Structures are given as C-alpha cells and as structure tokens.
C-alpha cells in the first residue's frame, strides 16, 4: 500500500506525517518512504541534507519527492548567522564552535583534487568549500586576511583553458570577500567578511554548512524522483572523474532517478551529479602522483565494470526542465553514472564564471563516458564552456540545443564515436574544440570557429554498441568526422578562440577511406625517417553544407556559398531563448536531401552506426522546433528559414 507523506516547516517529526499532521523535516519522511510512496513538501525553507534511506524498485514503483502544487519549498545547504560582531571598518566576524558544523566543516575542507589547477600562491593557503552569502550574493574568498580591508574591483577574469579574458558580469560583486580560520586547539571557526557597509545582523547572511541538499550516502538507492524544489548554497566538493562525484542533488551510483523542474543555484562546485562512487578512485593522482591522472582514469573505467557499471544497473537517469545557474564548476556532472541518461529542456547559465578556482573539469555540462546519453533542447549560455563530452561519448546525441555567449560551446575529448551533434544553434565565438574523432554534425547552425587536436598519448576505451563492455582502446589521430547539411557563418568576435572559420581547420584531410589507406601506405613506404607520418589524419566526410561569408571546405567544392554572412543573436526570455537569424537571400533558396543513419556510415574504430540507443535508425526529418522537414530540406536547424529576419523561440519545456 502506497503512502503519501506531507512536510511543512511548522510540522512535527513525531507527528503522523499526513496532510493534517505533517512532519517538520524532509529527512523524517525520507527515513520512512518505501517504493510507491510520495513525499509532498510544502512552502518553506528546509535547512537539511536529505539522505534517503530507501529507493524505488522500478519506474512504476519509485519514491517521489515533490513540491506541493503551487508551492515553493527550498532546501539549503546553509545556515543563517545573526551573531556577527564588527571587527574593523566594513569587516565583521563571527566565531562558531566547530561542533556547529558536525563532522563536516566546509571552512576546514580545502578545494582539492585531480585536474584542479591551483595557483602556486594557494599551496600553503588553499581556498575552501565554504562560502558567505549576503541576501543571496555569493562572496569571494581571500587567502590573506589583509585583503579583507580594501578588496580591489576585478573587471576581467581569465578562462583558464584558453587564457581568454572576458569582463566580469558584476564587477562590484568582487569587492565582497571573506576569510576563515579554524583553530583546532580552541575548537572554533572564525569567519571574517567585508559586507561593504551592510549590517550582517539586519540583512540575511548565510554560510555554507552542508555538503549537499539531496544526496544519498549509500549507493544503489534507485528510482527516486525529485521534482519542483529550489536548492542552493551547498558546499559541494571538486568533482573530477577520478573522485567520488558529489553534487547538490544526485543519485550516488544508482539507476533511474528523475530530477525535474527544479531551480538549482550556488553550488560551490556542481549542482546535479550523475557520477561515480569512491571505490573506483578517490583523487589518487593528486594524493600520490604514483601514476598519471590518465592512468587512474583508465583504471576507474575497469574498476567501474567490476562494481556493476552496466545498463540497467547504473545510470538511465532523466534530468529534465531544471534551471541551474551560478555554480563554480558544473551545472550537471557525471562519470559512468551518467550513461544511458536523458538531459533535456534544462536552462544552464553562469557556470564556471566566478573563477574563484580553476581546473580542467569546468563546464555547464561535463560528462565522461556518457554512453547513449541523449542531450537535447537545453539552453546553455554564459559559461566558460557549454558542454564537455570527455572519454567514451559513444552513442551520445546532442540535439536541438541552443548554445550562446559561452567562451566555447562544445568540447569533445578522446572519444572515437559514433557521437552525433544535430539541429543545434552554436552562436558563441568557438563552436567546437575537437580532441576526438568519429563525430557527426548534421543540420546545425555553426557561427563559431573549430579547433582541431590529435591525441596520440592517451589510448582510450571504446565499447560494444549500447553496452558498457569495453571492445578496445585507441588513440585519436584526428578526422573521421562528418559534416552534413549544416550552415556555417563567420563568428562575431571569433578572434578570441583558436581555429579557422567554416571547415578550414580540415584543410588537407582526405575525403574517403581509400584516400586514408593510401596515406597509410605512403607513410610506410617513406618511413618515419623519410618524412612519412606513421599515423596520418583520417577522412573528412562532407555534403549539403551551406557557407555564408566563409570559404567552402576544400573537400566540398560544389557547395552552396554566398559572400554575405548570416548573423545570429539570442535573447533570453522567461518562456525560452529567442534565436534571431538574419539570413541572406541566397541561403533561403538552398535545398538539400534529407539524410539518416545509413548516409553517415560508421566511425573507423568503433564500426557502429549513428543510431538511436535502441538500435533503430535516425531520420533527420524534424528540425530544432519539431517541425517536419520536406524531402528537399533547408540546411541548418530551422526548416522554415527564410530570407531576411527570422525569430525562433525554443520553449523551456515541451508541451
């Protein structure tokens, strides 16, 4: 028999938990809920870390945690502090007993881990997982208490991966700073902060206390739904692929979660985590340097297989319709546990822009081994990097998304395909950093540069189709990519990112497998000493592309091309992003044949088709908005593109 539990802040955990006698905490309901039960949470702020004791047993018998109809419950990883004392000038301090934090003190815990690029000056004075908030405004930590008195305004920040400098959204915010000292002998934690004239005891001032808001401490708590909450201000740790990845909300190595229609913000590192657990690695590269990070990550894959990484056992989550913003590392992160999932209709913005710390794992969405994961209809903007698919993006499909105002839109790294990007708008200065091969781009609008890399020092796994079983490992020698029915234009401000416009980066690539094999024979005949390349680039397959204001690819001499650039602007509205396209008349008349799975062939290494996760073929017969394409279709993601001004609205959620 299924039960319905109710929670309200004015309830009582000793009550019955029904509508008339609600519990006071979500945690009380989480200790009791069993498969088929529903936990309904009413208006109010809940300062707790929900650790569900049980999960569901199937998609039909899950445990549902949801907001009451028309109400807005908020789970916070912070506590409000009203006992500040003026220290000097605008600087106030509070001293708390360490027992206040329990067994997790974010002001003792440093930000650390694999692929965290920590400046040398922080080696003896690291930054911490804690934070201070004034009326919701996140502060900046300083490592020298002298910097509290007159903090400078930072007008620009640097994207660490490319050294791209961009302006700070709110320069005045950088003057709000804090510093902490933990005295183990005295058993106290002292926090000082510059409130720039505000009285912290009169305003709402909160500090991080808990690591998460809704996250099981045990693995395999399956089939849970978390719907309609606001969650904020959790002290989530740095989440590389070689560590236990802990988010503000997430399943912790389980299957079948639904995380939907939530507003998630101000996670110290990551908001939603679909990642791996501790037994498959815990920052051993950082801790020991016994082996390289690459080697530990490779081991994590095989360790994951030993502890149950398989379809139907781990992964298969749905992250849908969430708004996620102002997080330090990721909106959504995962390694292995993100496989076989759906990530759709999310609005992710202002991720990794605070740049209080740096590292190589920062992106709006950052996945490793996202096998068969479908990423569609997301709006991703104002991130240092929009989407980063790293290692084993096999069967991954990125479809009908809008990327804009990112430093870089997409990065794909050390994967061998088949990986598919179709019907997307890429409006940032850099569309693609390609450290991979076997990627197909179909019916996209590409306004940014393409930056190509070969990776000949990291042999990475590929899999038997639609499974986690490893079929082999290979290097990335470059190429084996497909560009079909796309529209290319010149980027606005593209000098900020390396790479050539259009497909110029692929100059000299062969156009067929026969051409590639011939280059192999040539290299063998000449020998390395004679100048032969022992691993030449693989083919580039192109067709049906249109080039506006950029050169046509040398491999596509008969392509449609006009000297007039196509321009793109994206406006954010409450009901969804509006893509404004000013299209040349010459483009409006271009028509290309419809294509599908059979037209794309198979990547050379993996030898598997670009198809749906269930093995059925894909027909690219609908556009970004779901409109049906004619047999002779317009290139790019919009079937109804016309000459002149076009306005297309991507709704926040499908009807």
pTM of the model: 0.95
With b for 16 or more beta-carbon neighbours within 10 A and e for fewer, the 77-116 pattern comes to bbeebeebeebeebbbbbebebeebeeebbbebbbbbbbb
How far is Cα of residue 370 from the mean position of the Cα atoms in its chain? 12
Torsion angle defined by CA atoms of residues 121, 124, 127 and 128, in that order, rounded to the nearest 10 degrees: 170
Are 46 and 210 in contact by the 8 Å Cβ rule? The answer is no
Give phi and psi for 518, each to the nearest 5.
-60, -40
How high is the pLDDT of residue 154? Answer: 67
C-alpha distances (whole Å) from 445 to each of 274, 502, 546, 590 are: 29, 11, 10, 14
d(CA 396, CA 374): 6
How high is the pLDDT of residue 248? Answer: 98
Are 213 and 75 in contact by the 8 Å Cβ rule? The answer is yes
Q: How confident is the model at residue 491 (pLDDT cuts 50, 70, 90)?
A: confident
C-alpha distances (whole Å) from 172 to each of 42, 384, 401 are: 36, 20, 32
Q: Nearest-CA neighbor of 368 among 294, 439, 444? A: 294
Residue 426: HSE in the Cβ half-sphere, 13 Å Cα cutoff: 37
Looking up tokens 């955990």, which residue turns up? 13
Average pLDDT in the 384-399 region?
A: 97
- Sign of the Cα pseudo-torsion (115, 118, 124, 126, in order): negative
Q: Decide if pLDDT at 261 tops 70.
A: yes
How high is the pLDDT of residue 124? Answer: 64
Which residues are bridge partners to 650 per DSSP?
A: none
pLDDT, tens digit, for every residue of 338-389?
Answer: 999 999 999 999 999 888 888 889 999 999 999 999 999 999 999 999 999 9
State whether residue 600 is helix, strand or coil: helix
How high is the pLDDT of residue 330? Answer: 98
Q: Which DSSP letter does residue 446 get?
A: E
Q: Which DSSP letter does residue 598 get?
A: H
Are 414 and 390 in contact by the 8 Å Cβ rule? The answer is yes
DSSP, residue by residue, 423-435: S-EE-SSEEEEEE
Judged by average pLDDT, the poorest of 339-343, 381-385, 494-498, 636-640 is: 494-498
Q: How confident is the model at residue 493 (pLDDT cuts 50, 70, 90)?
A: very low
C-alpha distances (whole Å) from 535 to each of 237, 476, 509 are: 40, 10, 13
Instruction: Quote the tokens at residue 239.
Output: 């989440």
Instruction: Quote the tokens at residue 562.
Output: 């006009």
Torsion angle defined by CA atoms of residues 19, 23, 25 and 29, in that order, rounded to the nearest 10 degrees: -80
Q: How far from each other are the two terminal CA atoms of the chain, in whole angstroms?
A: 32
Q: Decide if pLDDT at 66 tops 80.
A: yes
The CATH code that applies to domain 79-208 is 2.60.40.1180
How high is the pLDDT of residue 158? Answer: 60
Q: Decide if pLDDT at 494 tops 80.
A: no
d(CA 89, CA 632): 70
pLDDT, tens digit, for every residue of 288-299?
Answer: 999 999 999 999
d(CA 145, CA 482): 54
Element containing residue 525 per DSSP (H, E): helix 513-526
Average pLDDT, the chain: 93
Instruction: Quote the tokens at residue 364.
Output: 């709006």
pLDDT, tens digit, for every residue of 100-155?
Answer: 999 999 999 999 999 998 665 555 678 999 999 999 999 999 999 999 998 877 66
Q: Decide if pLDDT at 167 tops 80.
A: no
Residue 500: HSE in the Cβ half-sphere, 13 Å Cα cutoff: 12
How far is Cα of residue 280 from the mean position of the Cα atoms in its chain? 21
Average pLDDT in the 621-648 region?
A: 96
How high is the pLDDT of residue 155? Answer: 63
Instruction: Quote the tokens at residue 233.
Output: 């201000």
d(CA 109, CA 124): 14
C-alpha distances (whole Å) from 85 to each of 90, 92, 201 are: 11, 5, 9
DSSP, residue by residue, 19-33: SSS-BS-HHHHHHH-
d(CA 506, CA 452): 8
How many other C-beta atoms lie within 10 A of the C-beta of residue 448? 30
Give phi and psi for 580, each to the nearest 5.
-105, 115
Average pLDDT in the 84-105 region?
A: 97
pLDDT, tens digit, for every residue of 408-417?
Answer: 999 999 999 9
């Amino acid at each position: 028999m299924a039960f319905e539990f109710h929670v309200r802040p004015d309830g009582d955990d000793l009550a019955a938990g029904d509508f008339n006698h609600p519990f006071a905490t979500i945690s009380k309901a989480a200790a009791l809920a069993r498969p088929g039960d529903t936990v309904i949470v009413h208006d109010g702020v809940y300062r707790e870390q929900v650790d569900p004791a049980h999960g569901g047993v199937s998609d039909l018998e899950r445990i549902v945690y949801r907001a009451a109809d028309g109400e807005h419950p908020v789970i916070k990883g912070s506590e409000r502090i009203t006992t500040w004392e003026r220290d000097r000038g605008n600087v106030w301090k509070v001293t708390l007993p360490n027992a206040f934090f329990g067994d997790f003190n974010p002001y003792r815990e440093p930000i650390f881990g694999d692929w965290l690029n920590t400046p040398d000056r922080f080696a003896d004075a690291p930054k911490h997982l804690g934070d201070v908030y004034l009326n919701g405004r996140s502060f900046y930590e300083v490592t020298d208490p002298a910097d509290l008195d007159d903090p400078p305004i930072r007008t620009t920040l640097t994207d660490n991966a490319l050294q791209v400098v961009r302006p700070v959204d709110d320069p005045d915010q950088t003057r709000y700073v804090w510093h902490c000292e933990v005295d183990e002998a005295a058993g106290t934690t002292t926090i000082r902060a510059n409130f720039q004239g505000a009285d912290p005891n009169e305003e709402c001032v909160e500090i991080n206390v808990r690591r998460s808001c809704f996250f099981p401490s045990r693995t395999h708590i399956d089939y849970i739904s978390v719907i309609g909450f606001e969650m904020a201000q959790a002290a989530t740790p740095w989440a590389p692929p070689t560590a236990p990845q802990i988010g503000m909300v997430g399943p912790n190595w389980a299957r079948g979660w639904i995380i939907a229609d939530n507003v998630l913000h101000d996670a110290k590192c990551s908001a939603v985590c679909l990642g791996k657990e501790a037994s498959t690695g815990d920052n051993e590269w950082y801790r020991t340097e016994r082996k390289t990070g690459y080697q530990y990550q490779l081991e994590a894959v095989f360790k994951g297989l030993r502890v149950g990484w398989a379809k139907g056992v781990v992964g298969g989550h749905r992250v849908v319709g969430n708004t996620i913003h102002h997080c330090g590392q990721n909106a959504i992160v995962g390694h292995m546990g993100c496989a076989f999932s759906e990530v759709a209709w999310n609005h992710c913005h202002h991720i990794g822009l605070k740049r209080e710390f740096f590292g190589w794992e920062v992106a709006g969405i950052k996945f490793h081994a996202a096998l068969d994961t479908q990423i569609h209809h997301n709006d991703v903007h104002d991130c240092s990097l929009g989407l980063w698919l790293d290692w084993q993006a096999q069967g991954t499909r990125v479809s009908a998304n809008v990327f804009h105002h990112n430093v870089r839109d997409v990065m794909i790294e050390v994967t061998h395909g088949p990986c598919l990007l179709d019907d997307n708008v890429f409006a940032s200065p850099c569309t693609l950093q390609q450290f991979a091969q076997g990627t197909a781009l179909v019916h996209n609008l590409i306004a940014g540069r393409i930056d190509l890399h070969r990776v000949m020092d990291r042999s990475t796994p590929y899999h038997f189709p639609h499974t986690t079983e490893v079929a082999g490992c290979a290097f990335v020698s470059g190429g084996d990519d497909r560009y079909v029915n796309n529209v290319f234009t010149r980027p606005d401000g593209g000098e900020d990112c390396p790479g050539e416009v259009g497909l110029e980066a692929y100059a000299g690539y062969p156009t067929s497998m026969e051409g590639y094999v011939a280059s192999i024979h040539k290299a063998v005949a000449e020998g390395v000493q004679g100048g032969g390349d022992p691993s030449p680039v693989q083919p580039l397959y192109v067709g049906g592309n249109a080039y506006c204001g950029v050169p046509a690819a040398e491999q596509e001499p008969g392509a449609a091309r006009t000297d007039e650039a196509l321009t793109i602007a994206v406006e954010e509205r409450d009901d969804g992003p509006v893509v404004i396209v000013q299209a040349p008349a010459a483009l409006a008349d271009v028509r290309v044949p419809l294509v599908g799975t059979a037209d794309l062939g198979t990547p050379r290494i993996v030898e598997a088709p670009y198809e749906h996760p269930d093995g059925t073929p894909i027909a690219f017969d609908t556009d970004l908005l779901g409109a049906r394409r004619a047999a002779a279709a317009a290139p790019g993601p919009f079937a109804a593109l016309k000459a002149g001004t076009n306005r297309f609205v991507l709704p926040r959620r499908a009807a």
